[in-house]
């Protein structure tokens, strides 16, 4: 039966170029375009049948200049990663585009809004010199930030002005007294041994005719600042860049970084360091340092810059790469939930949420008054912050007042991971004396989950905060101690969840540049670094190194961006070769690494199961995924080859570690989870191993006994073997070790250890004890895809066709997940009352979904009040073993059982 429907016009929205809503320096002359269709009218089965895309070059005001292109009508349903035939754009330009579509009934949409993007160097070599102040920083040394300036004359105003800026260190660009951007920590954090990033900004609105001043504040950041464990990329921070001006006749001029620039270190930032914090003396503010109206800079000693063309071999030939990841920005303000006086001029603030960023200080104080803030995640007691887990990081912000009324300050080149702030040096704080500022990458928050159990809601929120706190320049392990680096293992286990929570495909793709750049070609113990960008430490650790395979795969699955596979595939096959050298007979033997890191009850270096078992399981799994990638990339020979490797090593794995009765020689949860999760057993052996897996949970009283590598697999593996109830039981344990234990003890983010703090023992005795590590939050994917039931299907990367299969349990009466897929919003929301089950689903236009319900009779299923068997939009595909599967086209539906 058909429902009466009206057909409002479909709208084309959320335009992206190369996957980015804001793309100011894409690195390709063959960009891919994506858009979403928005259907406000409650219609069904809206699909795109054809599209037309128009593109034209623009000046800074959006006026057309030069090139234009029309795709004409293209009969295609493709709305993601669309390549255009015959498009011819050039580097260092600015373009605008719009698109319209025809739906399945031939109805034409209006034109979309206009979206613009810029092109970067697109393969051209970086050509401007690098300038700095020539200072060399020793390891662990901290120093003032430096100000640079350059004045230039403009006779006529350009029609387009773009600033291209690269740095080894952090920069904050200014023009004529205004900040160019709100982006933070730019131009980013690559593996500086081989690559630098650059950003481009349109700055024409900041220019004036006559004298102009270009200013740069330069900090040490990740480059010359020291990162764990005493790692420094280079001793001398510097930057390079050019302002490119185009006049109405198309003539180009450039204002470049060269020897005409001046610098000073007499500015207010006396110390800048990621780990140690920042010291700011407001009385040293350089008034008018970048103001064209204040031409007199004589009060400050401006010196000549040091110009370098070559270092690191030849810096001019380092790969200059336009960043593709969304930049870090201030994202949220967080107000304190309590303020307590804990001593003379000493106060304790509680922000109620652990997060990464800093505070905005507001004070009224005498000139020279020193205010000091220390940041901590947790308290020792009511008045004492816990700083032991920061290890050597000083995490201190110091402000020296200028004594001019109300003063406000935020640090620039540092950040902290904290919930509490100890403020010293203020007699009486102002009402809004401190405001928390959460900073993280500017990613769309694309996922939402809620259910009838508040502890699970808190787990979801704690995990999201873990992501916000650790998705700064690169995905890090933690935001507080002297670490905050891109541990590959952590990112690998968390990526599938991260992609649900936030649209982070490009973000992870950019991080993978560093994973690849760090690949070390060593026949023994080669592979990708355990931390990317490389920051010292080892290479090739099992479960860490394979991030190079697992993360591209996860991104591909979620976004449908094929380029992430193409781009990483050569490095992946290289890595497989290196691992293959250590696995001649299928068993991967290389030096021990982290194992099932931090599994409860074991000392470091002794986490079971044995190292080779983990390494082999990961090796086999990586081979399996590599084979599947080869398939996608249409490389059948390589697909065969890696399939062979997969088979060889899974056979060796079974032989070495599994007895005929399905018991593993290392009888631990993680052994079975890896074996089943990575499909390493035969069906018959799996049947037997399942009993052992279940037993290992029962022996622990339905508690987990896993570390970083076993934990992410628990719930999905238990569900896959029909033990969903057990999965719920393990998840819902409130006692140690389990996910809810930290929540019962007040956690607002996910802890690094199951016992980071316990009522019996207090803080874990090891100083390596973060309260904001996302690795264990990897279970959140299961909340989305199983509890609420919104699941991506492997054969349909990018959510063009997905599954809705909720698995109620754990006493929940309601659960809901909402995900912004590349096609638009998908929703699965269910409610249970007695034996009535009500499911509300939303499938975005131009995509379809299959609904899987576990019922004994399809006859009991109704959609929008009509029996499933009669509902014309539903296509009943299968009914077997109390499972009914039917397809639905786009639209909103209410399904009841
Ligand atoms: C980090 C981890 C990382 C681990 C590897 C720790 O110090 O914080 O999250 O994966 O080391 O050993």
pLDDT tier for residue 3 given thresholds of 50, 70 and 90: low
pLDDT tier for residue 308 given thresholds of 50, 70 and 90: confident
Q: How many CB atoms lie within 10 A of CB 568?
A: 24
Q: Which of 310-324, 341-355, 674-688 has the lowest mean pLDDT?
A: 310-324
Residue nearest atom 4 of ligand 1, based on CA coordinates: 487
Q: Residue 794: is its pLDDT beyond 80?
A: yes
Q: How far is the CA of 844 from the centre of ligand 1 (A)?
A: 39
Q: Residue 347: is its pLDDT beyond 80?
A: yes
Q: What is the rounded CA–CA span in Å between residue 331 and residue 657?
A: 49
pLDDT tier for residue 8 given thresholds of 50, 70 and 90: confident
Q: How far is the CA of 768 from the centre of ligand 1 (A)?
A: 9
Q: How many CB atoms lie within 10 A of CB 859?
A: 11
Q: How far is the CA of 445 from the centre of ligand 1 (A)?
A: 26
Q: How far is the CA of 575 from the centre of ligand 1 (A)?
A: 21
* 489 CB within 6 A, ligand 1: yes
* 768 CB within 6 A, ligand 1: yes
Selection from 298, 299, 294, 295 nearest residue 284 by Cα: 299
Mean of the pLDDT values across residues 744-757?
98
Q: Which ligand 1 atom minimizes the distance to the CA of 544?
A: 10
pLDDT in tens, 68-125: 999 999 999 999 999 999 999 999 999 999 999 999 999 999 999 999 999 999 989 8
Residue nearest atom 11 of ligand 1, based on CA coordinates: 487
Mean of the pLDDT values across residues 196-221?
97
What is the best residue among 477, 537, 546 to mutate for testing ligand 1's pocket, by most ligand atoms within 8 Å of CB? Answer: 477
In this predicted structure, what is the pLDDT of residue 315? 59
Mean of the pLDDT values across residues 497-502?
98
Q: Residue 309: is its pLDDT beyond 80?
A: no
In this predicted structure, what is the pLDDT of residue 656? 98
* 482 CB within 6 A, ligand 1: no
* 597 CB within 6 A, ligand 1: yes
Mean of the pLDDT values across residues 214-237?
95
In this predicted structure, what is the pLDDT of residue 204? 96
pLDDT in tens, 514-543: 999 999 998 777 899 999 999 988 899 999
Q: Residue 847: is its pLDDT beyond 90?
A: yes
Residue nearest atom 5 of ligand 1, based on CA coordinates: 594
Q: Residue 880: is its pLDDT beyond 90?
A: no
Q: Residue 855: is its pLDDT beyond 70?
A: yes
pLDDT tier for residue 591 given thresholds of 50, 70 and 90: confident
Selection from 120, 113, 88 nearest residue 23 by Cα: 120
pLDDT tier for residue 7 given thresholds of 50, 70 and 90: confident
pLDDT in tens, 614-638: 999 999 999 999 999 999 999 999 9
Selection from 525, 514, 580, 521 nearest residue 547 by Cα: 514
Q: Cis omega (within 30 of 0) on the bond before 737?
A: yes
Q: Residue 196: is its pLDDT beyond 50?
A: yes
Alpha carbon separation from 662 to 637, 670, 680, 682, 714 (Å, rounded): 34, 14, 12, 10, 18
Q: Which ligand 1 atom minimizes the distance to the CA of 594?
A: 12
Q: What is the rounded CA–CA span in Å between residue 562 and residue 567?
A: 9
Q: What is the rounded CA–CA span in Å between residue 307 and residue 298?
A: 23
The proportion of the chain whose per-residue pLDDT surpasses 90, expressed as a percent, equals 92
Q: How far is the CA of 771 from the centre of ligand 1 (A)?
A: 13
Give the catalytic positions in this structure: 483, 752
Strand partners, 652: none
Q: Residue 317: is its pLDDT beyond 70?
A: no
Q: And the tokens for 641? A: 């080859």
Average pLDDT taken over every residue of the chain: 95
Q: How far is the CA of 325 from the centre of ligand 1 (A)?
A: 24
What is the best residue among 597, 598, 749 to mutate for testing ligand 1's pocket, by most ligand atoms within 8 Å of CB? Answer: 597
Mean of the pLDDT values across residues 864-880?
94
Q: Residue 294: is its pLDDT beyond 80?
A: no
Mean of the pLDDT values across residues 391-408?
97
Alpha carbon separation from 504 to 198, 474, 487, 640, 832 (Å, rounded): 20, 11, 17, 31, 33
Residue nearest atom 9 of ligand 1, based on CA coordinates: 477
Q: How far is the CA of 361 from the centre of ligand 1 (A)?
A: 33
* 594 CB within 6 A, ligand 1: yes
Residue nearest atom 8 of ligand 1, based on CA coordinates: 477
In this predicted structure, what is the pLDDT of residue 5? 59
Nearby residues of 855 by Cβ (< 8 Å), 6 or more positions away: 861, 882, 883, 884, 897
Helices (H), 405-562: 454-470, 488-501, 505-517, 547-559
Selection from 365, 373, 129 nearest residue 254 by Cα: 129
Q: Residue 296: is its pLDDT beyond 70?
A: no
In this predicted structure, what is the pLDDT of residue 537? 84
Q: Which ligand 1 atom minimizes the distance to the CA of 593?
A: 12
What is the best residue among 479, 594, 773 to mutate for testing ligand 1's pocket, by most ligand atoms within 8 Å of CB? Answer: 594
Q: How far is the CA of 535 from the centre of ligand 1 (A)?
A: 13
More confident residue, 288 or 35: 35
Q: Residue 1: is its pLDDT beyond 90?
A: no
* 483 CB within 6 A, ligand 1: yes
Q: And the tokens for 274? A: 């990621």
Residue nearest atom 12 of ligand 1, based on CA coordinates: 594
Q: Residue 359: is its pLDDT beyond 60?
A: yes
In this predicted structure, what is the pLDDT of residue 449? 98
* 487 CB within 6 A, ligand 1: yes
pLDDT tier for residue 313 given thresholds of 50, 70 and 90: very low
Q: Residue 310: is its pLDDT beyond 70?
A: no
Q: What is the rounded CA–CA span in Å between residue 627 and residue 279?
A: 52
Q: Which of 30-44, 310-324, 569-583, 746-760 has the lowest mean pLDDT?
A: 310-324
Q: Which ligand 1 atom minimizes the distance to the CA of 490?
A: 10
């Amino acid at each position: 039966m058909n429902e009466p429907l009206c057909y409002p016009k479909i709208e084309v929205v959320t335009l992206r170029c190369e996957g980015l809503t804001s793309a100011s320096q894409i690195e390709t002359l063959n960009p891919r375009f994506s858009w979403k269709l928005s259907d406000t009218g409650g219609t069904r089965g809206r699909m795109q049948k054809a599209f037309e895309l128009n593109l034209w070059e623009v000046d800074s005001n959006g006026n057309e200049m030069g090139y234009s292109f029309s795709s004409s009508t293209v009969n295609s349903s493709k709305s993601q990663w669309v390549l255009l035939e015959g498009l011819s754009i050039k580097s260092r330009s600015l373009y605008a585009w719009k698109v319209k579509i025809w739906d399945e009934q031939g109805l034409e949409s209006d034109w979309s809004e206009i979206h613009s993007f810029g092109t970067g160097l697109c393969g051209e070599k970086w050509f401007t010199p690098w300038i700095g102040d020539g200072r060399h920083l020793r390891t662990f040394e901290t120093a003032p930030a430096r100000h640079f300036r350059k004045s230039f004359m403009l006779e006529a105003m350009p029609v387009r002005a773009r600033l291209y800026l690269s740095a080894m260190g952090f920069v904050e660009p200014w023009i004529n007294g205004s900040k160019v951007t709100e982006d933070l920590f730019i131009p980013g954090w690559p593996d500086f041994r081989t690559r630098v990033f650059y950003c481009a900004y349109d700055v024409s609105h900041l220019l004036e005719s006559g004298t102009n001043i270009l200013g740069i504040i330069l900090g040490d950041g990740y480059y010359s600042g020291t990162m764990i464990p005493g790692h420094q990329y280079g001793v001398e921070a510097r930057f390079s860049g050019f302002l490119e001006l185009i006049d109405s006749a198309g003539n180009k001029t450039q204002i470049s970084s060269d020897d005409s620039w001046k610098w000073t270190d007499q500015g207010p930032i006396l110390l800048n360091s990621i780990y140690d914090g920042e010291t700011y003396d407001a009385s040293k503010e350089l008034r008018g340092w970048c103001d064209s109206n204040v031409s007199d800079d004589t009060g400050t000693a401006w010196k000549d810059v040091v110009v370098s063309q070559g270092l690191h071999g030849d810096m001019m030939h380092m790969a200059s790469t336009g960043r593709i990841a969304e930049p870090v920005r201030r994202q949220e303000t967080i107000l304190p939930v309590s303020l307590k006086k804990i001593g003379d001029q000493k106060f304790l603030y509680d922000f109620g949420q652990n997060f990464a960023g800093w505070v905005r200080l507001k004070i009224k104080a005498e000139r020279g008054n020193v205010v000091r803030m220390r940041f901590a995640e947790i308290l020792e007691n009511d008045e004492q912050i816990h700083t032991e887990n920061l290890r050597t990081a000083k995490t201190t912000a110091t402000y020296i007042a200028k004594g001019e009324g109300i003063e406000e300050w935020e640090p620039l080149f540092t950040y902290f991971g904290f919930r509490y702030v100890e403020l010293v040096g203020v007699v009486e704080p102002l009402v809004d004396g401190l405001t928390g500022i959460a900073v993280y990458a500017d990613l769309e928050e694309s996922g939402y989950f809620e259910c009838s159990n508040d502890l699970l809601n808190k787990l979801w929120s704690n995990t999201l905060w873990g992501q916000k706190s650790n998705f700064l320049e690169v995905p890090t392990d933690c935001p507080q101690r002297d670490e905050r680096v891109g541990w590959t293992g952590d990112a690998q286990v968390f990526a599938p969840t991260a992609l649900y929570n936030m649209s982070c495909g490009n973000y992870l793709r950019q991080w993978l540049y560093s994973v690849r750049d760090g690949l070390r070609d060593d026949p023994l113990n080669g592979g990708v670094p355990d931390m990317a960008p490389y920051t010292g430490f080892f290479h090739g650790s099992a479960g860490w190194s394979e991030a190079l395979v697992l993360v591209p795969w996860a991104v591909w699955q979620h976004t449908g961006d094929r380029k992430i596979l193409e781009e990483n595939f050569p490095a992946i096959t290289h890595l497989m070769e290196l691992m293959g050298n250590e696995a001649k007979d299928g068993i991967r033997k290389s030096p021990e690494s982290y194992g099932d890191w931090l599994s409860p009850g074991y000392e470091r270096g002794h986490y079971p199961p044995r190292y080779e078992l983990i390494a082999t399981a990961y090796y086999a799994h990586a081979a399996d995924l590599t084979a599947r990638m080869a398939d996608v990339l249409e490389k059948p020979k390589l697909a065969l080859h890696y399939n062979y490797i997969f088979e060889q090593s899974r056979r060796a794995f079974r032989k070495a570690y599994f007895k005929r009765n399905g018991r593993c020689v290392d009888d631990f949860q993680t052994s079975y989870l890896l074996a089943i999760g990575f499909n390493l057993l035969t069906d018959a052996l799996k049947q037997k191993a399942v009993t052992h897996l279940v037993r290992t949970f029962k022996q622990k009283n339905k508690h987990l006994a896993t570390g970083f590598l076993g934990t992410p697999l628990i719930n999905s593996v238990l569900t896959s073997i029909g033990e969903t109830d057990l999965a719920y039981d393990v998840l819902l344990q409130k006692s140690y070790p389990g996910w809810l234990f930290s929540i019962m003890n007040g956690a607002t983010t996910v802890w690094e250890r199951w016992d980071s703090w316990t009522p019996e023992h207090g803080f874990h005795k090891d100083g390596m004890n973060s309260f904001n590590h996302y690795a264990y939050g990897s279970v959140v994917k299961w909340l989305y895809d199983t509890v609420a039931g919104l699941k991506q299907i492997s054969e349909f990367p990018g959510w063009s066709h997905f599954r809705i299969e909720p698995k109620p349990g754990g006493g929940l009466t309601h659960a809901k997940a909402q995900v912004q897929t590349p096609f638009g919003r998908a929703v699965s929301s269910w409610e249970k009352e007695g034996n009535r089950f009500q499911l509300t689903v939303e499938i975005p236009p131009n995509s379809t979904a299959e609904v899987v319900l576990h019922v004994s009779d399809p006859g009991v299923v109704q959609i929008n009040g009509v029996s499933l068997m009669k509902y014309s939009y539903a296509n009943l595909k299968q009914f077997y073993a109390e499972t009914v599967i039917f397809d639905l086209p786009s639209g909103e539906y209410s399904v009841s059982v």
